[in-house]
Amino acid sequence: QSALTQPASVSGSPGQSITISCTGTSDDVGFYNLVSWYQHHPGKAPKLLIYEDSRRPSGVSNRFSGSKSGNTASLTISGLQAEDEADYYCCSYAGRSTSVFGGGTKLTVL
């Protein structure tokens, strides 16, 4: 159960788009269509953004989108806003009722 691999940091200017990658293996990300993404502002509870690779829960802005190719999932945030500055985590189901998170990516809005 090794952590999924995410870039430590990404940045973008307001209005731009950024993409965060999340690389796992053929035992987790590549096998199950069960990658979810979470936004985490320090001191607050994480918030679900994307589930099942690309589905968006009701109430989540359509500026957030997810995709996957092979063992790598991606989260794209379009039209960057100041309030998007946070930590972002991917998570994948890994079989036998277990899950694994990515190391997290710090998004800086310049």
Q: Which lies closer to another protein via its Cβ, residue 13 or residue 43?
A: 43
Rule CB under 8 A: is residue 9 a binding residue for another protein?
no
Could you say which of 14, 15, 57, 70 contacts another protein (CB under 8 A)? 57
A 10 A CB-CB count for 5 gives 16
Using rule CB under 8 A, residue 99 touches another protein: yes
| 84 backbone φψ class: left, alpha, beta (φ>0; ψ -120 to 50) | alpha
Which range touches another protein (CB under 8 A), out of 21-29, 43-51, 67-75, 77-85? 43-51
Instruction: Report if residue 20 touches another protein, rule: CB under 8 A.
Output: no
Q: Under 8 Å CB-to-CB from 43, ≥6 apart: which residues? A: none
Closest CA to 1 of 81, 86, 93: 93
Contact flag: residue 65 with another protein (CB under 8 A):
no
Amino acid at 33: N
Q: Which is nearer to another protein, 8 or 13 (CB)?
A: 8
β-strand partners of 101: 91
Site residues (vs another protein, CB under 8 A): 1, 3, 32, 34, 36, 38, 40, 45-48, 51-52, 57, 87, 89, 91, 93, 96-104
